[in-house]
Amino acid sequence: MAGHAFSQVDVFTTGPGLGNPLAVVAAAADLTDAQMQRFANWTNLSETTFLLPPLDERADYRVRIFTPGSELPFAGHPTLGSAQVWLENGGVPKNPGIVVQECGTGLVPVRYDDGGRLAFAAPPRRRSGPLPEENVARICAALGLERSAVLRHQWADNGPQWQALQLADAQAVLEVEPDYAALAPFGVGLVGASPAGSGADFEVRALMGFEPVPAEDPATGSLNAALGQWLIGDGHAPQRYTVRQGTRLGRDARIEVAADGPDVWIGGQVRTVIRGTVEL
């Protein structure tokens, strides 16, 4: 067995244990697909990533992203967490202030600063526009919602095949009790406006019905990237806003969403909480 540098980071965090954890294995070019998938299954985190040399000369590194059951072409909090670990392990980007990540969806630029805050440019959605009405009806039934509770809906597919519903407000989002058996295999994002003075503009929940063991995700970069493109692009949100996520799970994640020209950037705080070596 070979030893690899290993880190576990907390992404979109506001304090110890309040964000979304990610396991990162560095210098993983010698690992097979089966080894990567097996280790991701063992960590039992929502995602585990593996850092490799880039194939595209424009990229600084390449990442492969695994859930406990499958590989993803892109995911948000693994993008920020992987960039943080690459930098901490001595990575020097080709362009100061910007790390270029290569992943299944292509190249993703990541901005960073010395304070541990990173932001990635949202990749293009693979599918957008309103959801089929039969999908909306099925999601409402699985979430115990009346159809009239849905203000708007939209495909939010940028790798993970999210389907998004906007509800009346944050309280309506927090009150949803999902029936995951009925929801599977859909991944559903819920968003609702937060009250003034709450420290965030929107409350978001990410219900991962597409996972082998369905669950709620505490802080989701991919979903918030697609939500930002939708809500800002259609004029339903300001050019810059803050999301709170993970409330029902006892987390307190904060995700910053900002339009900058044609791009929407998704940012937050990343902190490394575990460093060591793993034998694989």
pLDDT digits (tens, 9 = 90+) for 187-226: 999 999 999 999 999 999 999 998 878 899 999 999 999 9
pLDDT at 1: 65
**Segments of the chain with pLDDT less than 50:** none
Q: Are 98 and 150 contained in the same domain?
A: no
Check residue 201 and give its pLDDT: 98
| pTM for this model (two decimals) | 0.93
Whether 171 and 118 share a structural domain: no
CA dihedral 246, 250, 254, 257 (to 10 degrees): 10
Q: Longest C-alpha distance within the chain, in Å?
A: 56
Within this chain, do residues 24 and 92 fall inside the same structural domain, yes or no? yes
Same domain, 187 and 232: yes
Structural domain contains residue 176 = yes
Q: Residue 127: inside a domain, yes or no?
A: no
User: Which residue range(s) make up the domain with 116?
Assistant: 3-122+267-279
Q: In the chain, how many domains are there? A: 2
List, for residues 138-153, the tens digit of each pLDDT value: 999 999 999 999 999 9
Do 205 and 159 have their domain in common? yes
Question: Is 211 an annotated catalytic residue?
Answer: no
pLDDT, position 218: 96
Element (H, E) at 34: helix 33-43
Residue 110 lies in a domain: yes
Say how far apart CA 255 and CA 269 lie, in whole Å. Answer: 8
CATH number for the domain that contains residue 169? 3.10.310.10
Domain identity same for 219 and 158:
yes
Q: Would you state the pLDDT for residue 213?
A: 82
Asked if the structure places residue 128 within a domain, the reply is no
Q: Which of 47, 203, 211, 216 is catalytic?
A: 47
Query: In this structure, are 39 and 146 located in the same domain?
Result: no
Confirm whether 186 is domain-assigned. yes
